[in-house]
Every structure is written in C-alpha cells, then in structure tokens.
Structure 1
Amino acid sequence: MTSKAEGPLRGIVVVDLTRVLAGPYCTMVLADLGARVIKVELPVLGDDARHSGPFIDQEGQGPVSGYFFSVNRNKESIALNLKSPEDREIFEALVEEADVLVENFSPGTMHKLGYDWDTVHARWPELVMASISGFGQTGPYRELPAYDMVVQAMGGIMSLTGEENGPPTRVGVSIGDIAAGMFGVMGIQAALLERHRTNRGKHIDVAMLDTQVALLENALVRYQVEGKVPGPIGSRHPSITPFGVFKAKDDPFVLAAGRDAKFAVLCEQLGRAELAQDPRYTTNPLRCENHAALKADIEEALADKTAKQWMAIFKRAGVPCGPLYDVSQLMRDPQIAAREMLVELPLPSGSTLRTAGNPIKFAGDAAPDHRPAPALDQHRQQLLNEINAIQTSRRQK
C-alpha cells in the first residue's frame, strides 16, 4: 500500500484507531506530512467526534460535524468491528501493510482486543505503535479516564492561567489533547528514524498529563528558586517587563519590550524618554518588581493615540508589538493568508469550510493538496480491493 500524497512521509502507511481529538490530531499532522492514514472506525457510530458540534447543515444530506471535520482531513475511513473475526482479518491485513499503528484507547483495551504491544511486536516486529492516553501505560492512574479539562487541572496549567487573584481558568483551546497529539507525532517520527537503522519498531507511550508538565516552561524552576507557588498573573510575563496587553485610546494591543535597549526605544517613541532612567525601571528585574506602576505610566502615554497608530510607530522603531485579534479578525489577516494557514476544504454539499492548516512548511515545496474528512466507511471497497490485490500477488509469487 502506498501513500497518495506528497511530503516527507510519503510511502508511510498509518493505521489509525484513534477517536475524538488527541489521536486524530496526531494522525492528521502525519497525513499533512504525506503519510497515508487509514482511519478504522466503529461500524454505524464511527468516531465519537462525528456526533459533536458545531454541525454543518448539508441540505438533505444530514448534518456534518465541524468538530470531526477540523481534525480528520486527508484520511481514509473503513468501519470495522474488532470483535468480529471477519473484520479482524481485514484489520490485520491492513496492519500487515502498515508502518505505524496509532491508538488512544484506555490502557488495557488493546490487550483485551489481542493487539497489545507485546503481541503486535512479536507478529510485526518492524511496526511502530503509538499509544496516546490520559495518564500513560504505567503508573497508579493508568486506568483512569481523562479529558482535556482533567489534565489541564492536574498538570498545573489551569493554576497559571487567568487574571491575578482570579480563579483557575481553562486554556481556551484543548491544549491537553493537542499537545499530546503533537508529542505523538514527534515520537512516531523518531521511532521511524530508529527503525531505519535497526529494522525494529518501538512503542511510543504519550500521556496527556505528561505533556502538560512538559509545557510548564519555567514555573517548576521559579517555584524551587523563589519558594513561592506560581499563580495566574493575567497577560503579563513573570520575568519579562513590559510584556503584555496595554490599552491605547481605543483598543488594547500587545507590547513586548523586556530588554533594556528595547525598553529605552519604547520610552522614546512614547515621548517619555525619562522613564528609561526612572530608578524603578532601569533594569528588567526592577521593572518586574514595579510592573503595576510601569503599566500605568505606559497606558497614560498611550491614551492619546489609537492602537493602530501606536503599532505603526512601534513597528517602524523595531519595538515588538501586535494586535489583539479575535477569531474573525485572525481569519482576515494577510499574513495568515500568505502563510496558507487556512485550508479550504469542500463539503459534501459543494460548499467549503476553512480549517487551520499545517504550520510546518518546507522551503521550495508547493502547498499540498488537501482532502476533506472522510464519510464513515467511505473507502471500504477501495481498501478491500487493495488488500485482495496484494494477497493475490503474494500467492502468485
């Protein structure tokens, strides 16, 4: 079985047992990079995400889940019941031709199905297998169910998010699922590289909770060095100032000028050059200590011009700044368009829907073609034909 797409992973075949978000995000990125991804779903119901909104009305064809559509492009779908002997035979024929098997069931489920790592590795020693779960394949929590909200809370992310002295706040995107998906892609590609040297597959074990710990940046070190538990501080940075959201005459926008030289330029452009010599602000540590007073001084100076006017001034002077977009503004930005970060995919009705593109670009390569998320069991006959052709060819040899 060969990949039908261009890209660095062309020729890699992935059998995808995942559903909802973390696993499908992982396999979507692999598909974007050129792998052929064959999505194995439950008969009738399919991936749980097919039943999650928002739904797109298809004029007599039934609703399509925008949730499912957004993370399953460039894949093929076949519906198989892995408890059925006939369907298991088809599944195993697919795995026989695959390079990678990805699953995000609760730990222990693959063992019950007869496809745990030890069994799979003994039968297909070159196969790379990735397991993405809430808490991983080991440890006291391995069998507990987990959702994005749970791992954001347990991983410390929520304790750092929100306004100062405010309640813990969930990050506005499913960072627990998406981070696990991204780390899954990295692990799979590393295992494929090692397989090239050893001809042996590996089992990648990615836990959503682990990925949240990995994203904590400097919070762990700050706690140990300062002896204080870090908490939410709004949009500002704990160790770089000024760095955050500032209000102009009309709208807020962001400024990031933590280095002393940039801070001096910022003050000059604000018409407040004396601020750079203020004893409270002469170094970054002092500015962090006096962040509230500095924010008030900066916003007092910003009050006489609009955010757009200030950003034009700061950009000419080389001061890092940017607008505070909502989703509708983001979708109209020319830089987003130039980077092809919105992929237009056709819907069954003939209309189109834009989803987020792949941020990994390869210099000199043309933008890849993208296929919409598949209908449930859409590629069944095509895949069965391929399997039959492969098996016939082997028998003839």
Structure 2
Amino acid sequence: MVGALAGVVVIDLTRVVAGPYCSQILADLGATVIKVESPHDPDYTRGFPPFLGQDDGDKFSAFYGQFNRGKLGFTIDLSKEDGKRVLSDLVKKADVLVENFRPGTMDKLGVGWEVLRKVNPRLVYTAISGYGQTGPLSRRPAYDNTAQASGGLWSMNGFPDRPAVRVGTIIGDLSATLFASAGTLAALRHAERTGQGQLVDVAQTDSVMALTEAAVINYTVDGQIAERLGNEHSFVKPYDLYPCKDGYVFFGGYTDKFWRITCELFNDAEAANDPSIATMNQRFERETYETKVRPRLLKWFADYTKAELDDLAGEHVPLTPVKNIAEVVEAEQTKAREMVVSADYGDLGTLEMFGQPIKLSETPANPGRRANLVGEHTDAVLQRLLGYSEEEITELRRSGAI
C-alpha cells in the first residue's frame, strides 16, 4: 500500500454506511483495511441497488462498492471459538478496529473492547452507534433517521407552515462517519506516540447535534427553540433560494461589498443609492428585506437562466445555481477535482462513484478501486499477515470458523 496511512492495518467489522464509510476513508488514504464479514450473514448492503450486471446470479451492488472500495475481503464466524481466536490473532497485528454494532454486542460475543485491549494494548477501538456506549439510551437500536430525530436536526428542517422534513441524505450516518474518522486518526496518533490505545466512542445522535449550528447556544443563552425556516437563514439576509428562468439559484450577497457589486451587475442605480437599504443591518431587518430587497432580487433573476446568472455574477458574488445530481456529476469543477472516480469490475462493467474529498499534495488518496467479494482475501490474509499454514486454514474452513 501507498498513501499517508501506508502500514496502518485496520480491522473493519462494520456494515451498512456509518462504519464502512469510516474505514473506507482510511483505505483511500493508504491503510490496509480488512473487511470482516460473517460467512453466513455478510454485509446486507450487498443486496442494495443499484447493481452492476443484469443477471441475478452475477451482479454486484454499486451501493456496497462505493462504501467498501479498496478493502480486503475476510470472513469470520464470531460465534465459534476458532473464529474468536482468528480475530484475536488479527487484532495482535492491527492498529485499528472499527465496529458499529449495538453497544454490548461485541461484549456478548466475548470480543469487546475490554478483551481486545488486553490482546493489543496499542489498539485503537472505534465504536460507532446510535446513542453511544454510555447513557440510558445506549442499548437502543438506531438508524440514520433515529439520529436526525433525536439529535434535533429533523425538527429544524423544512418550512414553518409544514411538518418537519428529514434532511434529504443519511446525515446521521455520514456525520458519525466523519467524526469517527477524525477520532480514529487522533487516537492513532496518540497510540503511535505512546503505545497506548483507546476506545473511540462516536454516537450518531451526538454527531447530528453537533451539526445544528447555533441552535444549542440560542437555547442555552436566550431560551430560543430553533424553528423551521425553509431556505432562509435565521438572521442573515439576503441568504436564500431564488427562482430564475429555468430553476433556482442560491444568492448570499448580504455584505455591503457584495450588495454594492450586485446592484452594479444588474444596473440598478436606484437600489445602489437607496439609503434605506444601504447597510447590511438594514437589509437584515425582515420588513425591509421583504419589501425592498427580496422583490429586487426576484426581478433581477427572473429573466435569466441558471447558467446565465452564473456567467454574469458567479465570479463576483455568492450566487450559485442549484444543481441536480446529473449536473453535479457532469460539471467541469467536479472533473477538475476528480470527484467522480471509476473502478473496473471486469465483465460486470465499470462503476463510477464519488471520489475522495481529502486532497493531499504528497500522499494522494487512491479511491478508484473496486470493493471486495465476500471473503475474497481470507486465505491470503491468514497466510501472509498471520502466518497460518494451508492445513490450519483448511481446518478453520472445515469447522465453519471462516
């Protein structure tokens, strides 16, 4: 392996998204990630659409491929003593273990943090769960929507005259992924410096709560409970979604500098010289905004397409077309940033998926790789990393441990 994390060995016991995406980031950055699945119950996202290939007997989940690229496939049955022994041997060679079971599951299997830290004192053990390893709700099952609901974000999202709306992506999973990745790297740095591993405990609910901007301090300082604002900002104006000829744009030119430039771009000398909207604080006032600022913006944008507005103003003020995913994938900026990468799946075809946002100048990430088949590299890992003989591997397979 090459990359910033070359030489780091990660055991990935996760499934679905929050855990797999965390370990996949580490794999993109050069870590050797061993994806451990049950031989009888592998990661069920292998059955998630869309699929490469058409034949029911020969197809591969692109969803699984996007979140598990660049990993080695390994199988262990942790209900068997031989399986626990194999995991223990892996842990001796590993730097990091990532799991996202409900708290208590790994302990019931006899391979939880307290057991594995004795096997390898420098192990970084990252546990991602709905509510975390502590607290009265820690043992509850959770999904992404659980975190959006319990972390406060769901109640804040949507329009004030309508029911709350979930964020349109799995932000509970994804936020936990990002905090778990950062926590894992911080703990790994400490382990490399001191030889002491630790438990990295990341909850989806905590992660979502940490994305609520000023909602917490608005409540603790002023007693304000965040309300649904639609596309508005709580106080910054203009900072909203505005219609144009063929869709919508975001415009956020609220500073005096950007407001002045915008007036010039749209040849509106009257707006530029109006003393009632000359300052940012004046434009922040709701009545002033609704009666004098917003109508001008609607008038300015109405006769232009998204592309025309982008050409006219995009380089000068914060004006951005609201793009659908096709427009994002095909955008020149996306291509320049290599944010769509390809992986070759042979006869099944090529999978194009999102790339790696982390751009390192000296040790670039390597995201354009295919994901593993179930247990694809089990023998190779046992032989090369753990030194098992062919006879030992045959016996493990006979017993059902791998």
For normalisation by structure 2, the TM-score amounts to 0.91
Task: Tell me the residue number matched to 2:298.
Answer: 299
**Is contact 2:261–2:317 with CA below 8 Å preserved after alignment?**
yes
Paired letter, 2:302: A
Paired letter, 1:312: D
Instruction: Check 1:366–1:175 CA distance in 2 against 1; reply closer, same or farther (3 A cut).
Output: closer
Gaps of 5+ in 2: 391-402
Paired letter, 1:300: K
Q: Structure 1: which 4+ aligned runs deviate by more than 6 Å?
A: none
Instruction: Write the distance in 2 (CA, Å) between the matches of 1:200 and 1:43.
Output: 32
Task: Tell me the residue number matched to 1:49.
Answer: 45
Would you say 1:164 and 2:160 are equivalent positions?
yes
Would you say 1:104 and 2:97 are equivalent positions?
no
Instruction: Check 1:44–1:273 CA distance in 2 against 1; reply closer, same or farther (3 A cut).
Output: farther
Instruction: Check 1:11–1:364 CA distance in 2 against 1; reply closer, same or farther (3 A cut).
Output: closer
Q: 1:331 aligns with which of 318, 329, 332?
A: 329
Task: Tell me the residue number matched to 2:357.
Answer: 359
**Is contact 1:238–1:288 with CA below 8 Å preserved after alignment?**
no
Task: Tell me the residue number matched to 2:235.
Answer: 239
Instruction: Check 1:119–1:275 CA distance in 2 against 1; reply closer, same or farther (3 A cut).
Output: same
Instruction: Write the distance in 2 (CA, Å) between the matches of 1:357 and 1:202.
Output: 30
Deviations 1:88-110 (A, max 9, x none): 22222111110001111110111
**Is contact 1:55–1:63 with CA below 8 Å preserved after alignment?**
yes
Instruction: Check 1:338–1:228 CA distance in 2 against 1; reply closer, same or farther (3 A cut).
Output: same
Q: 2:73 aligns with which of 64, 77, 85?
A: 77
Deviations 1:305-348 (A, max 9, x none): 333222222135x1121111111111100110111111111224
How far did 1:230 drift?
Answer: 1.8
Would you say 1:86 and 2:82 are equivalent positions?
yes
Task: Tell me the residue number matched to 2:187.
Answer: 191
Instruction: Write the distance in 2 (CA, Å) between the matches of 1:71 and 1:369.
Output: 10
Instruction: Write the distance in 2 (CA, Å) between the matches of 1:319 and 1:166.
Output: 32
For normalisation by structure 1, the TM-score amounts to 0.92
Number of corresponding residues:
387
Instruction: Write the distance in 1 (CA, Å) between the matches of 2:389 and 2:254.
Output: 63
Deviations 1:278-321 (A, max 9, x none): 455333343233243322221112223333222222135x1121
Gaps of 5+ in 1: 393-397
Instruction: Write the distance in 2 (CA, Å) between the matches of 1:196 and 1:388.
Output: 21
Would you say 1:342 and 2:337 are equivalent positions?
no
Paired letter, 2:370: P
What do you get for the CA RMSD once the two structures are aligned? 2.0
> What SS is found at the alignment partner of 2:347?
coil
How far did 1:10 drift?
Answer: 0.6
Q: 2:147 aligns with which of 124, 148, 151?
A: 151
**Is contact 1:239–1:285 with CA below 8 Å preserved after alignment?**
no
Q: 1:282 aligns with which of 278, 282, 293?
A: 278
Give the percent of matched residue pairs that are identical in Structure 1 and Structure 2: 37
How far did 1:367 drift?
Answer: 5.8
Greater mean alpha carbon deviation, residues 300-309 or residues 277-286: 277-286
Higher relative contact order (CA 8 A, sep 6+): 2
Task: Tell me the residue number matched to 1:395.
Answer: none
How far did 1:118 drift?
Answer: 1.7
**Is contact 2:8–2:32 with CA below 8 Å preserved after alignment?**
yes
